[in-house]
Chains A and B, each alone.
Chain A
Amino acid sequence: MSKKTIFKPSRRDVLKYSAAGAAATVLSTPFVHRTWAQTTEINMLAWYGHGEADIVGAYEEANNVKFKPKYYAGGDNMLALIAQSPPGTYDVILSDGEFVQQLNAAGYIDELNPADYNFDDMLHEDFTNFPGHWAAGKLHSVMVRCGHLGVSYNTNAVSAEEAASYACFWKPEIQGKVGHFDWHLPSLGMMSLKNGNGAGLWDLDDAAWNAVQETTMSLRSQVGGFFDYGGTFNSLKNGEMQAMCGIGDWITGVLEKDGAPVASVVPKEGGIQWTESYCIGKGSDKADQVKHFIQYMTSPEGQVKSAQMAAYPGFAITKGGRKLLNEVDPKEAQRTGQVDGMANDPITLIKEGRIHYRDIPQQQSLEDWNDFWSEYKNA
C-alpha cells in the first residue's frame, strides 16, 4: 500500500476501519463495565447461619461483596477443615473462643490491630481480653457474640424449679426423654459442673475426671438419643425429648420464638458460655475487607443482626448493640435478659461467677474425652 493511500484513504478504507473501531469499542465496553461491577468473594468458615442473608445480606449489598460460607459443627471440625486446606483458603474464620489459641498456635490466623476495633464499647472487660484472643500482647481475634448453655427443657414436662439444677436430667418421669447434643465438650462440661467443679470444670485431675465419667454414665438410662443440629431441633420441637443436655438458648430460643413450650436456664451449679470470635485467615488477600466486616459485626447494627440471627440467637456483647436491640426488638431483649437490671442479665450472671467460659480439657486430651463419649454412647 502506498503512503498516498494511507494518508488519503479511500471511502472503502474509511468504512472498513470505522466499523472495526466501533466493533472494538462495543466489544470492550462490557468487559470494562463488568470490571466495575465485579463482586469481591469472601470465603468464610463458620458455624451454620453466619453467612446467611439475615446476617450478611445488607453488608453484601452495601459493600459489593459476596460471602461464600463453609459451615462446620464443632471446634475440632473447624481445625481439621483449616488444616486440610491450603493457606488463604478462608478469608474470615468464625471460631469458638476456646479454639482461637489453637488457631494461633498453628499459624492459621493473622495478627489484628487493636486500634481498628472499638473495645471500649464491650459490655464486660473479659470480652476485650478474652482468653486466647491475645498472645504475647498481640491481638488475633475479636469476640462478636456469645450465649449461655444450661438446662434446656420442655416446660410441660419439667418445672422451672426443677430446671434450676442439672439434677432434673435424672428425673424418673423423663426417662428415655433426655437428649444429648452429639458433642462431648458441652455435655461433659455440664456433668463437671453438676459435680461441683465450678470454675475448675475443665481442669480435672484423675479423681475428678473419673467422677465426671461416673456421673455421666449414671445418666445413660435417661438418654433417648444423641442428636446433631437438625435432630436436636426436631426432637425438642416434636416433644420426643423433654430435656436436652449440652445446649442452651441458641437452640431453644429459635423454638421458643416459634411458640414451642421449651426454655433454657442457667442452673444453680452454673452455666457454660459459648463464645464466637472472628479472625482473619492467614494468607488471605482480602484482609482489609474482612477487617471492615468485623468492624461491622461489632457495630450496633451488626450486633443486633447477630442477636436476632435466624439460625441461632446470641447475646449482643457491646453497649451500642444492646441499646439498639432494646430499641428495635425489646421483646427479644426481654426474652433473653439483655436488659440492664434484669435478674437473668447475662452480664450480671458473668459478674456473679455463675458462668464459666467453655474451654478444652486441661489435664486430659480431647481424644480422651471423645473416647469416653463413644463408650458412653455405646453403654
Chain B
Amino acid sequence: MNTQKKSTQKKRRFNLYAMVWRTPIIVWQLLFFVGPLLFMIAMSFFLVKNYRMIEAFEMKNWIKMFSKNYFWDSYYLTFGLASLSTIIATVIAFPASFALAFKVSDNVRRWVIFLLIIPFFTSYLVRIFSWYVILAESGVINAMLSYVGLGPYTMLNTMFGTLVGYMTLCLPLVVILQTFSLANVDKNLIQAAKNLGCSPIKTIYSVIIPLAKTGLIVAALFCFILSFGDFVSPYYLGGSKPPTLPILIIDTTKSGQQWPRAAVVAVVMMATLITIAFAALALAYKKRASR
C-alpha cells in the first residue's frame, strides 16, 4: 500500500511538472487563438445598425454571403490561387533545397539560409511595392526584354503579379523548411540505394522524398496558409481583379462597416484552412504500409 501511495505521489508530481511547462502555451492559445476565434464566430451572427454592431443571433449574414455569387467566385479563386502558389513554390524550392541539403558545404548552407532569412527583416509591403519598379510595363524586366525586341508585357495587375507576390512571401520559407527536412534524411539510406543500383532520379522520388515527406508537406502547408490569407499581393500586384477573400473582407467592412459579414468570410476561411491543415498533417504523418 505504501508502494502504491508512493507511486501515485510520484505520478502526481510528474504531472504537475508537465503542466507547469504546458500551461503557458495553453493559456496563450486560449487567449490569442481560441478566444478570438470564438468571438469571431459569435460576431458572424451579430447585426449592424447605424454603423454599430448589435449583439444578436441571426442567420442573416450567413444567408446573405452564401447567396452571393461574388462570395463563391472569390472563394474558388482564393483556393485556386493558393493551391497554385503552393505547387509552384514547392517545385521551384525543391532543386534549391536539394542542393543546399546534399551538394554544398555546411558553411555555404549556413550563409544561404541566412540570406533567405534576411528578407523577413524588411517589411513585406515594401517588398511588394518594389515589384512595381520591376514588373511595370516601363519597368526593369520589360526594359531588358526590349533590347532583344520583346515585350512590353503586362505583368502588374494580373494573376501573374499576384503569384509573384505570393512567391515573395512564401518561397524563402519553403526553401528553408525543405532544406531542414532534406538535410535530416539519413545519408546511409541514400548511399544504400545507390549501391543497390538506384538511379539518381529514382533515389530522389523513391528514397529521399518519402523520407522527407513530413517536412515537404509542412512546407507546402505553410505556403498554402500564407497565400490563402494574403491581402497585399492580390491587392497591389493583382489589381484586386478579381478580389480574393481577404480583399472581400476589406470591401465588406469598408461599406456600412459590415463586420459581422466580414466575420462570415473569415470563419469560412478559418474552416477551410483548419480542414486543409488537418488533412495535410494526417498525410504527412501517415506511416507507409509495410510490404
Does chain A have a CB within 8 A of B136?
Answer: yes
The answer, yes or no, to whether A132 is at the interface (CB within 8 Å) is: no
Question: Contact string, B251-265, partner A, CB cutoff 8 A, digits 1/0?
Answer: 111111110000000
What are the residues of chain B within 8 A of A83 when measuring CB–CB? 50-52, 257
Instruction: Answer whether residue A41 sits at the interface, using C-beta atoms and an 8 A cutoff.
Output: no
Q: Does chain A have a CB within 8 A of B73? A: yes
Q: Does B98 contact A (CB under 8 A)?
A: no
Contact: B256 with A76, CB < 8 Å? yes
Q: Contacts A80-B51, A106-B50, A378-B243 given: A239-B137 contact, CB under 8 Å?
A: yes
User: Shortest CB–CB separation between residue B280 and chain A, in angstroms?
Assistant: 28
Q: Known contacts A79-B51, A184-B255, A240-B137; is A375 also within 8 Å of B236 by CB?
A: no
Cβ of B217 under 8 Å from chain A: no
Write the B157-179 contact mask toward A (1 if CB under 8 angstroms, else 0).
10000000000000000000000
A239 near B136 (CB under 8 angstroms)? yes
CA distance in complex: A235, B251 (Å): 20
Asked whether A378 lies within 8 Å of B74 as measured between CB atoms, the reply is yes
B138 CB-CB contact with A under 8 Å: yes
Q: B70 on the interface (CB 8 Å rule)? A: yes
Main secondary structure of the interface of B (DSSP, over half): loop
Contacts of A224 in B (CB 8 A): 157, 239, 241
Chain A residues whose C-beta falls within 8 Å of the C-beta of B73 in the assembled complex: 378
Task: Mark contacts of A338-379 with chain B using CB atoms, 8 A cut-off: 1 yes-contact digit, 0 otherwise.
Answer: 000000000000000000000000000011011101110111
CA distance A63 to B129 in the complex (A): 39
Q: Is A234 an interface residue (CB 8 A)?
A: yes
B156 at the binding interface (Cβ < 8 Å)? yes
Q: How far is the CB of A240 from chain B (nearest CB, A)?
A: 5
B240 within 8 A of A: yes
B82 sits at the interface (CB 8 A): no
Decide: A374 and B68 in contact? CB cutoff 8 A.
yes
Question: Are A238 and B50 closer than 8 Å at their CB atoms?
Answer: no
Closest to A185 in B: B255
Give Cα distance in the complex from A234 to B132, angstroms. 8
Interface size class of chain B, counting residues whose CB lies under 8 Å from the partner chain:
20 to 34
- B123-168 residues at the A interface, CB under 8 angstroms: 129, 132, 136-139, 154, 156-157
Give the distance in Å from the alpha carbon of A102 to the alpha carbon of B253 in the complex.
18
- Which residues of B lie under 8 Å from residue A76 when comparing CB positions? 51, 254-257
> Which residues of the other chain, B, contact A371 by a CB distance below 8 angstroms?
68
Nearest to B73 among chain A residues (CB) is A378
Q: Give A180-199 as 1s and 0s: 1 = Cβ < 8 Å from B's Cβ atoms.
A: 00111000000000000000
**A226 interface contact, C-beta 8 A:** yes
Across the interface, do B256 and A226 meet the contact criterion of CB distance under 8 Å?
no
For A106, give the chain B residue with the smallest CB separation. Answer: B50
Q: Which of A77-92 contact B (CB under 8 A)?
A: 77, 79-80, 82-84
Are A235 and B241 also in contact (CB < 8 A) when A79-B51, A374-B251, A378-B70 are?
Answer: no
A-contact bits for B101-114, CB 8 A (1 contact / 0 none):
00000000000000
Is the beta-carbon distance between B255 and A377 smaller than 8 angstroms? no
Residue B229, interface by CB 8 Å:
no
Pairwise interchain contact B132-A77, C-beta atoms closer than 8 A:
no
Cross-chain contact of A377 among B139, B154, B241, B257 (Cβ < 8 A): B241
User: Given the complex of chains A and B, what is the CA–CA distance between A228 and B52 in angstroms?
Assistant: 25
A-B contact count (CB 8 A): 99
CA of A145 to CA of B105, assembled, Å: 66
Closest to B247 in A: A377
Contacts of B257 in A (CB 8 A): 76-77, 79-80, 83-84
A223 beta carbon closer than 8 Å to chain B: yes
Q: Closest B-chain residue to A72, C-beta based? A: B254
* Segment 90-139 of A: residues with Cβ below 8 Å from B: 106
Given the known A-B contacts A234-B132, A238-B132, A378-B69, are A226 and B156 also in contact in the complex, defined by CB atoms under 8 Å? no
Q: A240 with B256: in contact, given A83-B51, A374-B251 (CB under 8 Å)?
A: no
* Shortest CB distance A338–B (Å): 32
Partner of A74, one of B74, B138, B236, B254: B254
Minimum Cβ distance to chain A for residue B249 (Å): 11
Query: Please, how many angstroms separate the alpha-carbon atoms of A239 and B154 in the complex?
Result: 11
Given A84, A235, A369, A374, which contacts B243 in the complex, CB threshold below 8 Å? A374
Contact A370 B255 (CB under 8 A): yes
Residues of A within 8 A of B138 (CB): 238-239
User: Across the interface, do B255 and A366 meet the contact criterion of CB distance under 8 Å?
Assistant: yes
CB neighbours of A231 from chain B (8 A): 235-236
Min CB gap B66→A, angstroms: 14
Check B225 for interface membership: any CB of A closer than 8 A: no
Contact A240 B254 (CB under 8 A): no
> How far in angstroms is the closest Cβ of chain A from B254?
6
- Output the nearest chain A residue to B256 by Cβ-Cβ distance: A367
Distance to closest chain A CB from B262 (angstroms): 12
Q: Is A49 engaged at the interface, CB distance under 8 Å to the other chain?
A: no
Contacts of A198-235 to chain B: CB distance below 8 A: 223-228, 231, 234-235
**B93 contacts across to A, CB distance below 8 A:** none
Is A176 located at the chain interface by the 8 A CB criterion? yes
Please report the C-alpha to C-alpha distance between residue A73 and residue B254 in the assembled complex, in whole angstroms.
Answer: 9
Q: CB distance B69 to A375 under 8 Å?
A: yes
Chain B minimum-CB-distance residue to A74: B254
Could you tell me if B242 and A238 are in contact, using CB atoms closer than 8 angstroms?
A: no
B240 touches A227 (CB 8 A): yes
A contacts, CB < 8 Å to B = 73-74, 76-77, 79-80, 82-84, 106, 176, 179, 182-184, 223-228, 231, 234-235, 238-240, 366-367, 369-371, 373-375, 377-379
Q: Given A83-B51, A239-B136, A367-B256, 4 other A-B contacts at CB below 8 A?
A: A74-B254, A225-B239, A373-B251, A378-B73
- What are 29 A-B pairs with beta-carbon distances under 8 A? A74-B254, A74-B255, A76-B254, A76-B255, A76-B256, A76-B257, A79-B51, A80-B51, A80-B257, A83-B50, A84-B52, A106-B50, A182-B240, A224-B157, A224-B241, A225-B157, A227-B239, A238-B136, A238-B139, A239-B138, A240-B154, A240-B156, A366-B256, A367-B255, A371-B68, A374-B251, A378-B70, A378-B74, A378-B242
Question: B residues engaging A (CB < 8 A)?
Answer: 50-52, 68-70, 73-74, 129, 132, 136-139, 154, 156-157, 235-236, 238-243, 248, 251-258
